[in-house]
Amino acid sequence: MEECPFCGIANKKIPSLVVYEDDNFMAILDIRPANKGHTILFPKKHKTSIFDLNNSETNKIFYIAKQLIKNVKATTNCDGVNLVYSIGEAAGQRVPHMIIHIIPRNKGDKVAITWEPQKISEEEFKKIAEELLKANKNISEKVIEEKKEKIITEEELKKIKPAEIIEIEPREPKYW
């Protein structure tokens, strides 16, 4: 059986430069870094994706990511940080283990996270927004338990023109 490389790193069969470790999570320096300080955070147990983590583990991994970002920023003195997490081969997941990349960024560096903006009709925009808003209702019910914050209604959503949103936030295709 061929072992997962990140399981190998977690149980120290594969050497790595560890920059953080607790009972359940580990962070190492990427051996093929996009920039100095490029860190990979992952659960020590084999988990294919975030969907294999329970809520407490999910909270912990993103809490650790937040602290790692803060420290990598202070240590490398970078201008910014990208958090890159890919789910599935189509998205660029190359290992069968959940890993989160923390990439320090500097103005004019050689890192590019790109896409070509797609043309979507206003009708399609609204349709997908409505579907997602509906699907996402159960999140707000769970997340906003005490606060009872006002959630955008479907009526309000219809008033927003996607074209206006695009004009407010012009996006360079090669950098975001």
Residues that bind Zn ion (CB under 5 A): 4, 6-7, 46, 97
Contact between residue 25 and residue 44 where contact means Cβ atoms under 8 Å apart? yes
Torsion of CA 43, 46, 48, 49, to 10 degrees: -20
Phi, psi of 173 (to 5 degrees): -65, -25
Which amino acid is present at 111? V
Q: How far is the CB of 113 from Zn ion (least distance, A)?
A: 25
Measured CA to CA, the distance from residue 63 to residue 84 in angstroms comes to 15
Measured CA to CA, the distance from residue 52 to residue 91 in angstroms comes to 18
Q: How far is the CB of 56 from Zn ion (least distance, A)?
A: 20
Q: Smaller CB distance to Zn ion: residue 18 or 157?
A: 18
Q: How far is the CB of 117 from Zn ion (least distance, A)?
A: 35
Q: Smaller CB distance to Zn ion: residue 95 or 111?
A: 95
**Token pair for 4:** 């997962």
Q: Which residue is nearest to Zn ion (CB)?
A: 4
Q: Smaller CB distance to Zn ion: residue 6 or 65?
A: 6
Q: Smaller CB distance to Zn ion: residue 26 or 78?
A: 26
Q: How far is the CB of 74 from Zn ion (least distance, A)?
A: 30
| CB atoms near residue 69 (< 10 Å) | 19
Q: Smaller CB distance to Zn ion: residue 72 or 99?
A: 99
Q: How far is the CB of 135 from Zn ion (least distance, A)?
A: 30
